[in-house]
Amino acid sequence: MTRNNELVRGTVVALLLILCGPGLSGEPFPFDQELLLDAAPMQPGKRMPILTVESNGNARIELWCRTVPARVELSEGEMKIEAGPLPEELPAMQSAGQCTPERIQADEQMLAALTQVSNWSWQDGEILLVGPTTMKFRSATN
């Protein structure tokens, strides 16, 4: 192969990487969809953490007990999440005893992990958020 052919081939591969994004999946980030944490439910209660990101970067993080607003920046596999503070009050619409001390602590831990996310990618139909902790999310089907 000549040097020019190698250069053209390298340029085409680089363009494909840029256009297709992480993992060469070709799938964009799923804006405006509820992304459900792929984890075992935490008892008592059925509430699971959900991340929803709008195309303008505004986001909502529903944790085990509480919900916080956030701002998300995305670019070619990189991700930065800036979350608002955890509200002091627990939600009024939850059943009695649902927000146990364990679930409240899990809110704090998950919010800390989300604010340390630096990358995202698709893997087997799920979104991976990567930082010191890797978390899997899947589109909610309800």
Q: Name the pLDDT band for 7 (thresholds 50, 70, 90).
A: very low
pTM: predicted TM-score of the whole model, two decimal places:
0.78
32: domain range? 27-139
Number of domains comprising the chain: 1
* In a domain? residue 109: yes
User: Beta strands 78-83 and 67-75: pairing type?
Assistant: antiparallel
* In a domain? residue 82: yes
Average pLDDT, the chain: 83
Percentage above 70 pLDDT, the chain: 77
Q: Is 87 helix (H, G, I), strand (E, B) or coil?
A: coil
Which has the closest alpha carbon to 81: 32, 118, 124, 107? 118
Report CA Rg, the chain. 19
Which position has the token pair 């980030």?
A: 29
Residue 25, pLDDT > 60, answer no
* In a domain? residue 128: yes
Question: Which distant-in-sequence residues (6+ apart) come within 8 Å of 97 by Cβ?
Answer: 44
Instruction: Look up residue 136 and give its DSSP letter.
Output: E
The CA angle 66-71-73, to the nearest 5 degrees, is: 135
Which position has the token pair 């619409």?
A: 93
* In a domain? residue 11: no
How high is the pLDDT of residue 99?
A: 86
Q: Which two tokens stand for residue 134?
A: 């890797």
Q: Are 36 and 140 in contact (CB under 8 A)?
A: yes
* In a domain? residue 19: no
Q: Which two tokens stand for residue 12?
A: 């085409």
Q: What is the pLDDT of residues 27-84, one digit of tens each?
A: 899 999 999 999 999 988 788 999 999 999 999 999 999 999 999 999 989 999 999 9
How high is the pLDDT of residue 142?
A: 64
